[in-house]
Structure 1
Amino acid sequence: MGYIRELRKHIGSRPIISIGATILVINDDKKILFQHRSDTLDWGLPGGSMELNETLEEVAARELHE
């Protein structure tokens, strides 16, 4: 999340629009993969914000790996 962090230094807490990807992983038993977030302790689908010069496919792959 380097790009967003850098942007926040300049605009503070003002609203921004960002692009991101969410990944839906379903196994053969029709079970869905959820991740447990370490920052908020919530459960959700893997995903995150796009960095500069990334495609949506690259965002999805990076976020799933992370």
Structure 2
Amino acid sequence: MGYIDELRKLIGNRPIISVGATILVVNAEKKILFQHRSDTLDWGLPGGSMELGETLEEVASRELKEETGLTANRFELLGVF
């Protein structure tokens, strides 16, 4: 069970302020990868919440692999929002 899951057990559905990563995957033809999300049924970018002890790059790498099966050659921080 992950950190966010543990928090959810404690506080229910109240809002949580957490750190996470969203991954913008761009191929050689400048096409952007979107995924159809099973939780919201919307199209979006892969990403998710940070677990305790992870770096942002580790979050991005893990979420990309979990959600798309892809492994990135490199990551570039575009911004903090």
Which amino acid is the alignment partner of residue 57 of structure 2? E
Match of 1:21 in 2: 21
Give runs of aligned pairs for residues 1-66 of structure 1, distance below 5 A.
Answer: 2-66=2-66
Identity across aligned pairs (percent)? 85
Report the Cα distance in structure 1 between the residues aligned to 2:12 and 2:25, rounded to whole angstroms: 34
Higher relative contact order at CA 8 Å, sep ≥6: structure 1 or structure 2? 1
Q: What is the CA distance between 1:41 and its match in structure 2?
A: 1.3
Give TM-score scaled by structure 2 length.
0.75
Which amino acid is the alignment partner of residue 38 of structure 2? S
What are structure 2's unaligned runs of at least 5 residues?
67-81
Give TM-score scaled by structure 1 length.
0.90
